[in-house]
Structure 1
């Protein structure tokens, strides 16, 4: 069994007196004696002071959280946490920074295929570690790289909460923007505004979405970065819902140009990238809202060809756009059946609040057709009571008719 904090302290003290050790660590003699006899649990500050005073090389810090009589597994957890904190307090090497940037990028890729409920606990665990690292002193270049990582992780937190339908996502956008600004990184700040524009779009604030999308493109200042490639098509989609056809088409043209300027490394399946498949999806969505159903269908088919099968969220959203197109063409039964199939065929963990919200948009397109069997089934799947129109979908439907 591993030795306790008190046993290790007594061993490391050796021939030195308790009084001498207490003086070196700036604490009381009785306190040190109680620690040696495992009568008290040390604070992290005292453990660090004693570790330094006895030149223990982190041994005491690693044992500080282990409680006497705890199980081996609890001791292992405490030991791991202590070691992790000790390592986090050390100098930040290039390898350490590379590891953090890899971790952030890995989470960005995971957003394309992992369910939000699965991703959130891992995001939280890594973000907690990153916050611990950030509390220590670092060189200016190292702190800048860490702060950019904080901005990106904040954006991932916001995106994950958005898809879960949790309003706390808004606070994470503010944190992300503050971190990107503190790092003085216009590309990161542009990306943050572009992603936040999607929050406003799905929340029904179309004018606000257009404003943030424009801000994202302005901040980039012509840089070939992901922010404008994300923001321009979102602007086009919002303008289409607002009935501004010419401005919407112009924004879609800017989206194509932004994608062409992107380096190949950024045309990737990640929250930090933008790809041809996404542009086809977003263009199809805008064209659907403009009523150009045939052109929209071409874009949607192209998007489905390009998206991998594991990208459950965007493939479902494309199918729901196709259902809206069917409703606009007057195929009420087909629209409802496609929306129902899309929801039912999704794995439970991928039926996020965002997907249900968009499916309710389809239901809002056919509110007067509740006698059609397919519409009744869709409403049952979405748990919409008879005679009730979902308020969020109602707003979306009204926006599309403006």
Structure 2
């Protein structure tokens, strides 16, 4: 038998043949190859493969091998266009698909993108791929946030690193604006204001999504802090940023920003300031503009309407409206963010004054995940809209 060094030197081609089913090694050879290549037992598993093995498993292995072959060299313009289209498609899907459905596809396509980044690419292509990687990292973070998973925090760092490596201010501003929502919903309100402000500074006057997304978030955070005049000024900045945004960026996508979102965010700011008449005007306009398929933001607008009812002293109506909003959503769409906001409504009424509608709402929100809600007790893990 050849020694370990010799096997390691020819190991790559040998493993490729194994994956394609061209060779069936003995268990002894597989163990030596495992040791030499650090494969962790994977080759021993391959050694057990027989010609009559599961054809679907062989198809998977063939697909992976072909993909690695196709991505080993420089990408064509068509190849980069395909990557960017895939990222844009996922960005649009965030507006109407449940997070649990979207995550497996994000993971698969991000794995393909990583292979392309590892290939030999020229500087212009590599920059475009880095921007795509930053955007996909942001989508991963947003999806994990909505699922209540704290691993979202690591993806913000990855995305910022990719955007900085691409030296793209617009993408970096977008990353900071989106990350500001994590802080906002984890009750780090001052931190949310800081990141929203940084997003606007990084944009440096560019007419891009970052400042259009960041300014209304800053307004909402300032409203929660009770700083009314500053919140109003931030809403004015948000109006200006939206007007400057190119039409192709005023779309329903994680990578866009639209009037429907601004009306929702403005209504939310006025709701926190308990200026309910102004809030209701914005809420009504948001619901006119949002498509029925945008389940999350429409539900959040409805919960803001419930908060206005609570602020105006009608606890029963507020609780009933919030209950109807939650139970009207399919279980897969009752994200931790929805439950958190509904809990806000319930918290507006002290226990001593709780009416039957409020008790029903609290009972629904107290159910464990899978029994009608997604729980919602981990505020720090929530995502932002």
Name the TM-score, length of structure 1 as normaliser. 0.81
* Number of the residue aligned with 1:71: 54
Pairing 1:116–2:99 present? yes
Structure 1 unaligned residues grouped into runs of 5+: 1-18, 47-63, 394-402
Out of 239, 256, 275, which is 1:256 matched to?
239
Partner Cα distance (1:85, 1:236) in 2: 47
After TM superposition, the structure 1 = structure 2 runs for residues 189-338 of structure 1, keeping only pairs within 5 Å, are: 189-338=172-321
- The structure 2 residue matched to 1:186, chosen from 169, 188, 196, is 169
In 1, distance between residues paired with 2:236 and 2:23? 73
Aligned-partner Cα distance in 1 for 2:216–2:357? 32
Superimposed CA distance per residue, residues 202-225 of structure 1 (whole angstroms, 9 cap, x where no aligned partner) = 111100000000000000000000
Pairing 1:83–2:69 present: no
State the distance in 2 between where 1:228 and 1:67 align.
Answer: 55
CA contact (8 A) 2:148 2:378 kept: no
Q: Is the 8 A contact 1:369 1:375 kept in 2?
A: no
Q: Which residue of structure 1 lines up, in the alignment, with residue 79 of structure 2?
A: 96
The whole-number CA distance in structure 2 between the counterparts of 1:235 and 1:221 is 17
The CA deviation string for residues 243-299 of structure 1, in whole angstroms up to 9 with x for no partner, is 100000000000000000000000000000000000000000001111110110010
Output the CA distance in 2 between the equivalents of 1:113 and 1:65: 44
* Equivalent position SS for 1:247: helix
**What residue in structure 1 maps to residue 129 of structure 2?**
146
Q: Are 1:220 and 1:228, in contact at CA under 8 Å, matched by a contact in 2?
A: yes
Cα deviation for residue 83 of structure 1 reads: 0.9
Does the 8 A contact of 1:357 with 1:392 survive in 2?
no
Q: Secondary structure at the match of 1:342?
A: helix
Deviations along 1:129-184, one digit per CA (max 9) or x if unpaired, are: 11111112210111100000000000000000111111111111011001000000
Q: Over residues 33-86 of structure 1, what are the superposed CA-to-partner deviations in whole Å (9 max), with x where a residue is unaligned?
A: x9876225999xx9xxxxxxxxxxxxxxxxx99943312222111111111111
Unaligned runs of at least 5 residues, structure 2: 34-45, 369-375, 380-385
> What is the root-mean-square deviation of aligned Cα atoms in Å?
2.6
Residue 341 of structure 1 pairs with residue 321 of structure 2: no
1:91: Cα distance to partner? 2.1
- Matches of 1:358 and 1:162, distance apart in 2: 15
> Quick check: 2:296–2:333 contact (8 Å CA) kept in 1?
yes
Q: 1:364 offset after TM fit, Å?
A: 1.0
Mean Cα displacement is larger for which, 190-199 or 125-134?
Answer: 125-134
1:354, distance to aligned residue in structure 2 (A): 1.0
Deviations 1:331-370 (A, max 9, x none): 0001000110000000111011111111111111113256
**1 CA distance for matches of 2:119 and 2:309?**
57
Which has the higher Rg, Structure 1 or Structure 2? 1
Cα distance change, pair 65–323 in 1 and its aligned pair in 2 (3 A): farther
Secondary structure of the 2:120 match is coil
CA change 1:159–1:98 in 2 (3 A) is same
Decide whether the 8 Å contact of 1:165 with 1:353 is kept in 2.
yes
Which residue of structure 2 aligns with residue 359 of structure 1? 342
Q: Residue 383 of structure 1: CA displacement?
A: 0.8
User: CA–CA distance in 2 between the matches of 1:391 and 1:311?
Assistant: 24
